[in-house]
Amino acid sequence: MCGNTCYYIYVDAILAQNHKYFQCIRNRKAFGLLLLFMLSGVQVMTQDLTEEQKKLLEQSQETHEFQAETGRLMDILINSLYTQKEIFLRELISNAADALDKIRFLSVKNPEILGDKTELAIRIEINTEEKTVSVTDSGIGMSKNDLISNLGTIAKSGTTQFIEAIKGGNVNLIGQFGVGFYSCFLAGQKVTVASKNTDDDQYIWESQAAHSFAVSKDPRGNTLGRDAVEFAEESTIKELIKKYSEFINFPIYLKVTREISKQVEEEPEQQQDQQENTDDDEVKDTNKKATKTIKEKVSEWVQINENKAIWLRPKEEISDDDYKKFYKVLSKNSGEDPFNWVHFKAEGEVEFTSLIYIPKRAPSDMFDNYYGKQTTSLKLYVRRVLISEEFEDILPRYLSFVKGVIDSDELPLNVNRETLQQLKMLKVISRKIVKKILELFQDAASYDDEDEEDTEEEQQRLKDEKRKKKIDEYNEFWKEYGKNIKLGVIEDSSNRQKLAELTRWYSSKNATELTSFDDYIERAKPGQDSIYYLAGENKEQLLSSPIIQGLLKKGYEVLLLEDPVDEFTFQHLNEYKQKKLTNVGKGDFKQPEDNDEQRKKQKALKKVFQPLTDWWRKLLSENVDSVIISQRLIDDPIIVVSSESGYSANMERISKAQAYSSKAGSQQFGKKIVEINPNHQAIQELLQRVKDDPDQETEEMAKVLYEAALVNSGYSIPNPEKFASRFYKLFNSALGIDRDAPVKEFEVEIEEEPEASSEPPQSDDGTKWEKVNTDDAKWETVSNDKRDDL
């Protein structure tokens, strides 16, 4: 049991047609909420009662209403429900918009309800000195009973009642929970509401968020709290209107104050003083009155939400210029058009309208905190009111650069209207939006070969021009967002193949122009079942790598990966359209045209060179797993590659460059495979030396050759100082010097310099030069005439 006190509650479950058993935790003063836990399969204790006992139990029951500490409830509502104080303005504007929507709907049948105020608008006025904000609308208004009923009852929504009363009516209202109004206590200690309904006099509702409120015809005033004075600034209110309510149906006016210069007549006393100070001889214009410039503050109403919700209009009515103008409003960027956009309406499980833009340029800080808190540039609206612009799950991380809006009339919101009630809905929205974005990318990446009504030659020319333009445009897109697409291949398994179609790579066919997987496959040799690639620091280094020379000589194309993220991308992709992605820098590589004759030759070569391969593997056993006969070398004697499960040279380089990289040594990256070229004379000479009993110099040669191959294959040398020492010894031997010859100090004969002469220097013609101290010299300026004489 629960302990000292235990409560049992029995609730009829309509769907299950049986009783569910709830057990509550022990009642303690520290708990502000009652926690209920549902336990399945527990026997209800009343089943042990007889029918007579049950009837007696029912007759003796007393019914009581739940009690609530109103002040505590208001405190929770105000300080715990909302995450940001600024939400209060959004809620008040939304309430005002609902009031305007209600009166507009009712005025269709009864135009007289509008009276002489036909303008439907919201006006906001700020008094910085008194620290007040006033929000006024020309909507339906509330009677005295409405003020008491709607504002005096927490969680009662007048809007919800209105919707129920006019079911089937064409009206689009925002409110639904009956708590949004109370968010104004986030910013104000005292809130006053003045309202007039056509059927009643004007009344004032006033409260300080305590236990009570007052309704009367007395003074109004919305006094802001001392910790929220920033909301009494015009700039703050203007920013919040644009952020949350820019696309409300009705105009929102803000009363702004500015200072102007004005010419006014001077006072008579000032004019008399000026006349007395004027010279009698001065000619005066007695008809001209003296004026002065003064500064004066003027107030005017300025509409803040001039931009309309363009996404609600049919696509057929919106021009490209309209889309581009709205993009600049949305992105706060007036200088550049978007790369492309898509405007669509989703139906089905979740209905929403969305307008998505792809910026032409990627944000400069896009990858600064890529794996930190995710932020997107997509704004979620419900009935044109901003709910959030920081939903982490609305888009995958690699599409964070996308800008746009999502608007729905039916999304289930939490009470604070800052988050959705059902994350499942968010996932459905995300899936549909990602699909549309990828379709937009695919359209940009594809080439349309539409038939032209021209001659064949002209038709082909037009096709080529159109194709080149499309390729150039997409290459610009790839330059900005290529890394995002690659990260999408890594992170988004459900769209991996679609994203792979969008990727572009450099190739050994043309290292200056990008190519796609589809173009590679189209150029592939008959029967080729792999897409070959090699990753490294740059294209030039990869093109000259000995690893791919054999493939290039036989006409095979190799993709060149120079971006650090490229090899990760290929590892997650594994294959593309039934073509295996093969890293030619790893494993025991077999040539594509491997036939019986070649296999027999390889087998024979393996037998001939086995003494060398066995000896060499044993010599390098600490770092090398095997030494084999290579099928990919042409001119080089040896290369080093990793095993299929080991780190490639590129991945090892990237791993070592990481700040968290382990210093454990080369063992963590796996042992290497050494491939030797049986056609190279150096390898043939080594084979002969091994057969003739290898000496120390042969071992040094083998080690130096291996270490040089490490560098040539893209790896780093584990012990550079040992490599240098071995190289110097072999260099000595090549020069005919003892390989271990000691370093001796080189003796040089020093010639004595002649003593300096005290006589001044003398030229060939006998003229002597004398040293002069310029500090004691007296200088005379020489005129141009004298200079000519000299």
Express each pLDDT in 236-256 by its tens digit.
888 888 887 777 778 888 888
- Tokens encoding 407: 């608007």
Which pLDDT band holds residue 295 (cuts at 50, 70, 90)? Answer: confident
* Average pLDDT, integer, range 561-570: 94
Helix, strand and coil content of the chain, in percent to the nearest 5, comes to: 40, 20, 45
Residue 66 marked ligand-binding: no
Helix residue ranges per DSSP H, 254-387: 268-276, 320-331
Whether residue 86 is found in the same domain as residue 32:
no
**How far apart are alpha carbons 212 and 209 in whole angstroms?**
7
Residue 158 marked ligand-binding: yes
Residue 178 marked ligand-binding: yes
Residue 342 marked ligand-binding: no
In a domain, residue 749? The reply is no
- CATH, residue 691: 1.20.120.790
In a domain, residue 342? The reply is yes
Whether residue 329 is found in the same domain as residue 418:
yes
Whether residue 96 is found in the same domain as residue 16:
no
**How far apart are alpha carbons 346 and 433 in whole angstroms?**
9
Mean pLDDT for all residues in the chain: 77
pLDDT at residue 16, rounded to an integer = 33
* Average pLDDT, integer, range 284-295: 68
Whether residue 80 is found in the same domain as residue 54:
no
Please state whether 376 falls in left (phi above 0), alpha (psi between -120 and 50) or beta: beta
Residue 511 contacts residue 560 (beta carbons within 8 Å)? yes
Whether residue 616 is found in the same domain as residue 710:
yes
Whether residue 43 is found in the same domain as residue 117:
no
> Helix 87-109 and helix 158-165: axis angle, to 10°?
30
Residue 179 marked ligand-binding: yes
Q: Assess whether pLDDT exceeds 50 at residue 632.
A: yes
pLDDT at residue 19, rounded to an integer = 34
Residue 670 marked ligand-binding: no
Q: Which of 3-17, 220-234, 454-468, 469-483 has the highest mean pLDDT?
A: 469-483
Residue where a domain terminates, one of 445, 478, 498: 445
Residue 156 marked ligand-binding: yes
Residue 355 contacts residue 341 (beta carbons within 8 Å)? yes
Percent of the chain predicted with pLDDT > 90: 28
Residue 2 contacts residue 26 (beta carbons within 8 Å)? yes
Residue 137 marked ligand-binding: yes
pLDDT at residue 3, rounded to an integer = 34
User: HEC states along 655-718?
Assistant: HHHCCCCCCCCHHHHCCEEEEECCCCHHHHHHHHHHHCCCCHHHHHHHHHHHHHHHHHCCCCCC
Residue 417 marked ligand-binding: yes
**How far apart are alpha carbons 671 and 587 in whole angstroms?**
11
CA atoms within 13 A on the CB side of 8: 10
* Average pLDDT, integer, range 657-678: 75
Number of domains in the chain: 4
Q: Give 148's DSSP letter.
A: I
Whether residue 643 is found in the same domain as residue 723:
yes
Whether residue 148 is found in the same domain as residue 48:
no
In a domain, residue 508? The reply is no
CA 16 to chain centre: 46
* Average pLDDT, integer, range 100-127: 78
* Average pLDDT, integer, range 144-164: 61
pLDDT at residue 61, rounded to an integer = 59
Whether residue 730 is found in the same domain as residue 611:
yes
* Average pLDDT, integer, range 616-627: 92
Residue 150 marked ligand-binding: yes
Residue 122 contacts residue 237 (beta carbons within 8 Å)? no
Q: Assess whether pLDDT exceeds 80 at residue 550.
A: yes
More confident residue, 201 or 282: 201
| N- to C-terminal Cα separation, the chain | 125
Residue where a domain terminates, one of 704, 719, 734: 734
In a domain, residue 77? The reply is yes
Each residue's pLDDT tens digit, 458-517: 777 878 888 888 999 999 999 999 999 999 999 999 999 999 999 999 999 999 999 999
**How far is CA 155 from each of CA 101, 176, 188, 191, 416, rounded to the nearest angstrom?**
21, 9, 20, 18, 12
- Count CB neighbours of 399 within 10 A: 25
Which pLDDT band holds residue 199 (cuts at 50, 70, 90)? Answer: confident
Q: Assess whether pLDDT exceeds 70 at residue 424.
A: yes
pTM over 0.85: no
More confident residue, 550 or 448: 550
Each residue's pLDDT tens digit, 25-59: 333 333 323 333 333 333 334 455 677 766 766 67
In a domain, residue 474? The reply is no
Residue 157 marked ligand-binding: yes
Residue 181 marked ligand-binding: yes
Angle (CA) 229-234-235 rounded to 5° is 100
Q: Assess whether pLDDT exceeds 50 at residue 11.
A: no
Q: Which of 458-462, 562-566, 588-592 has the highest mean pLDDT?
A: 562-566
Domain that holds residue 24: 8-58
